[in-house]
Structures are given as structure tokens and as C-alpha cells.
Structure 1
Amino acid sequence: MTDNAREYSASSGAADPGQQALIERAEHVLSQDDRVLGVWLVGSFGRGTDDRFSDIDLWVVVAADAVDSFCDDWPKTSDEISPTVFRRALGPRVFNHITPDWVRFDVSVGTPDAIAGRTRSTAKPVYDPHGLSADLAAPGAPKQPDPARVEFITVEFLRVLGLLPVAIGREEYVVGESGAGLLRQMLIDLMLEDVAVEDRGGVLHLDRLLPADRQQILAGLPPLQATREAVITANITCATHFLPLARALHARCGLPWPQELETAARQHLSRTLSIDLPAQIDH
């Protein structure tokens, strides 16, 4: 391994032996490929928030004129790094893998002009013979809510909420349970939009991202069950927590609130199921 890789290994006590062995093997194999200009850990390993359950995200930089040949050769290169029980290409430059020991690693292929778009706080060098890490940007500002995503989640939440009378009226409680699960996930997604960090990472790290009060809200949501009462209760509870947060994020993003849609959904629930959602709930 390079000195950079050893420095990473010494500074991270979270990686288990299987993860560390995979990183070391990837560094050894990729450093033998003349097309490879550098390799960085990104994702949770790049941020330093990894643990023994994390997947390994490797960002491999090659010259622009070598991208196609490197990606075409990737199955063979991957086999040199580790045998896999699962390998999938997500587009032409991203590859997912699972080893027989269930070590998960993803590889994305980039070019030197993309280095300045990464930051020193989210990319850690594993193999950098040309000193390209010097081109990494300084740590970025905390991420703000994405207005388009906030708007989409809110409108979709209200649309799905308005389907509750369909599931209840048809006594399709399994369908209603699935709908409540969608609302629960959209509540989580909206909470994540309100997290101001440089790189939020994946949803499998909620405890590290959400403040204690938000975690308590999620932990206190009623269990999903395929019964009339449980489906209705889950919908009401999710809406009770979702709508105030959605309003606050719309205001922060300068977005108009979809008042007509909300009003129609409220009236629809009241008329068909005699459900009156709270007008205002602190979040």
C-alpha cells in the first residue's frame, strides 16, 4: 500500500479486517494499471463515518481517453481484486459488488477534471502517485434543502395521503399498509432535507444525521399493520409530523405552498372518512 493508504488505515478504527483487506487489495491491483491516475475512498469511508457495516466506495480516476477501455476491462479487474457473488453496472462508469463474505464495494470511474469537484473532507486518497489530491477543494458548506426535492416530496405526500379513502373504502388494508409505508419514508426524506452537513450520505446512517427529537418522532411512529385502524392511525400520525416541517422548508426555500392541494386532501379525508387533520402542529 501507499503511504496515503497506510495513513488512512491508522486513522480509521472502524473498518473490519474484511473491509481493510478489500481496500488494500484494490490499491494493489489498481496501482498496477498504468491507466489509473489515482484512487480515493469516498462515501462513508471518505467522510470518516464508516463502520463495520459500511460499504466501500472507491473513486478511480483515469485519463479521459482511457475511460472506455478501463470500464470495458472492469469485470476482469474486479475479479483480480476479489471474487464476487454479485456485480452490476449502474450506467457506464459505476459498478456495484458483493464478495462471498458480503463485503460490499462500489466503484465509480472519473477523470482528472472532476477532482476539483470533490472535497478534502469527503475523499481520502488510497493511491495518489501524481499528488492529484492537491486539487481537491476545501471542505464544502453545509448542504441546504433542495427546493425541487422539497416541493416534489410534499406534493407526492399529499397525493398519497389523499388515496387513503380508496384503500379503506375497498378494505384493501395491505395496500393501505404499503401506502402508510410510503408516507413514513417521505417523512424521513423530508427530515433529511433539513440536515445541514456537507455530505448527508445514505439513509442507513439516520442516527448520525438526525437530531434526537427527530429520531424520537420516527421511533414513535405506530407500527405498520394491515388493519383499518392501524392504516388510518399511521396516515394521521405521519401527516401530523410531515406537514409542519414541509411548510417550514417551503418557507426557507421560498416556495409557494400547495394550499389548494392540501385543502382538497383535507376536505376529501373529512368527507369520506370523517378524518380532520390537525390544522397546526409544532415540529
Structure 2
Amino acid sequence: MDREVLIQRVSDQLQADDRIRGAWLSGSLARGTADEFSDVDVWLVVAESEREALIKDWPTICDAITPTVLNQRVGSLPIFNAITPQWHRFDVVFGTPEEIPYRTRTTLKVLFDKDGLDDRLQDSGQPLAPDPARIRALVTEFFRVLGLLPVAIGRGEYVLGVSGAGLLRTMLIQLMLEDVAVEDRGGALHLSPLLPPERMRLLTELPAMSADRDSVVAVHVACAEAFLPLGRELAERTGVEWPTALDEACRARLNRDLGISLADS
């Protein structure tokens, strides 16, 4: 079974359920940016009064679409992830008619529409702006993790130091994505089309990580010197107060315990 057959099976099975009033492809298949590795994202609409019952019935509905090796709900959200034996991935989100006016034709592609809901979609949405709460949280957590470097080095816990470096690298990527002004930033496995070439180059040129002192320190420093200037710029742009005391305390500790002097941000 290829992806197009899976999409048709999803559409046919959902359309057969009277509770489901419409379904749309979302993600890269809707945006026209899909490649051979893209999964199938589906957004369906059901009345709020029937949503929980439909969610409860989803495992049976999914089994009628295709056998799966994974079919799980994402926490308590109205979202399910599924994987077929051929490793075709598809996600289903259970929406309601009240959400229609907040969705756009540039991010949805109709599979079926029983009630003319597609006519109520916006043509397009505004580009996403950096989220002040997200910026604040990322900056705070970055300093917290960075300040643990002397602990990992002091104890010789270089394997854990690599884990810490990985966290900093991930937060750097997340911060860069906050600065991408598009309507839909896409999924977690879609990065290079979003970031400018110079930022992708910065990420690819970060030091390799290995479980030894020099590598752990080098990656922490490289991530910090990339993250902090951008973090300060985005904080200023979004009106987030920079955590000066946390910044100064972290820098002082790195300097005192490891002789590291970070470049000014």
C-alpha cells in the first residue's frame, strides 16, 4: 500500500461516518511541500458534542482503515499517531466546526466536506511571530542547563555532559525556529527549508559531540555563543525582560570553575 492508497482509505472510512462532517489533509501534503518521506496529516471536523465519543471509537475506525503497529493518542489531546506495518505514518486531529474560521486554505486541502465548511476557511493566515512566553522559557532553561556544565566536568560525567550539550543544541534550534516568519513552520523533521542558509551552516558546523572533556566543553560554549545573542535579540523584539541576574551568575560560575569566558551577547 502506497501513500495515495492510504489517503484514499482514510478518506473513504471517515466519510462513511455520519458524525464526521469533513476532513482535510494538513501539513506538507496540504502546503505542497511534501516529499517521499512525508507522513499523512488529517484534520477532521466533528460536532463538539460528539467528539469524545468519536475519539473513543477511533481505534476501531483506524483498524478499518489499515492494520497498524502503533496507534496511540497524544496525551489527552484530540490527536492520534498511527504507523502501518509498511511504516506509513499518519496523524489524525479531531477538530470542531468552531475552529473552521481560524484555519486557512494554504494549510488545508479538502478530502471531503459534507456541510460547505471549506467555504468558511480563511484564504491565508498571518506569518507566525516569535512567542514571548516561548522565548522567556527557552532563555531561562538554556541558562539553567548551561550552568550545570561545571557539575558534569567536575564529576567526570562526560556521557551526561553530552546529554546536556544535546539539550543546548536542541534549544538553539528551537530558538532559531521562533524567528521563522511563516504561517506554518511544519513538523519536527522539517528544518532545512525553514532556516536561512547561514543558520543551517552554523548548526552543521557546531563541534561534534563525544564523551570527553574537551568535546563537552566545546559544544556547550559553541551553543552558548550562538544562542545568547539571538536570544537577547528576540527578547528585545518581543518585550521579554532579559534575566540579567541569571545571565551574570551563570557566566561567573563558568569563569570561576572552568575558566570559560563567554563572548558578550
Length-normalised TM-score, structure 2: 0.96
SS of residue paired to 1:243: helix
Q: Output the amino acid matched with 1:216.
A: R
1:19 and 2:17 are equivalent in the alignment: no
The equivalent of 2:199 in structure 1 is 214
SS of residue paired to 1:41: strand
Q: Output the amino acid matched with 1:188.
A: I
Could you tell me how far 1:92 is from its partner in structure 2? 5.7
CA offsets 1:22-80 (integer angstroms, 9 cap, x no match): 11111111111111110001122222222111121111112233223322221111011
What is the alpha-carbon distance in structure 2 between the residues aligned to residue 68 and residue 209 of structure 1?
35
1:76 and 2:57 are equivalent in the alignment: no
1:106 and 2:110 are equivalent in the alignment: no
Could you tell me how far 1:142 is from its partner in structure 2? 0.7
Of 11, 19, 43, which aligns to 2:27? Answer: 43
The equivalent of 1:169 in structure 2 is 154
Identity within the alignment, %: 52
1:153 and 2:138 are equivalent in the alignment: yes
Of 137, 141, 152, which aligns to 2:122? Answer: 137
What is the alpha-carbon distance in structure 1 between the residues aligned to residue 233 and residue 167 of structure 2?
21
Could you tell me how far 1:133 is from its partner in structure 2? 0.4
What is the alpha-carbon distance in structure 1 between the residues aligned to residue 89 and residue 229 of structure 2?
38
What is the alpha-carbon distance in structure 2 between the residues aligned to residue 69 and residue 146 of structure 1?
34
SS of residue paired to 1:207: coil
What is the alpha-carbon distance in structure 2 between the residues aligned to residue 232 and residue 92 of structure 1?
39
What is the alpha-carbon distance in structure 1 between the residues aligned to residue 217 and residue 51 of structure 2?
52
What is the alpha-carbon distance in structure 1 between the residues aligned to residue 160 and residue 16 of structure 2?
53
- Structure 2 residue runs of 5 or longer lacking an equivalent are none
What pairs with 1:1-283 in structure 2 (closer than 5 Å)?
18-90=2-74, 91=76, 93-280=78-265
Q: Output the amino acid matched with 1:51.
A: D
Alpha-carbon RMSD: 1.2
The equivalent of 1:3 in structure 2 is none
SS of residue paired to 1:206: coil
SS of residue paired to 2:23: strand
CA offsets 1:185-214 (integer angstroms, 9 cap, x no match): 000000000000011112311111000000
Aligned length: 264
- Structure 1 residue runs of 5 or longer lacking an equivalent are 1-16
SS of residue paired to 1:180: helix
SS of residue paired to 1:250: helix
Length-normalised TM-score, structure 1: 0.90
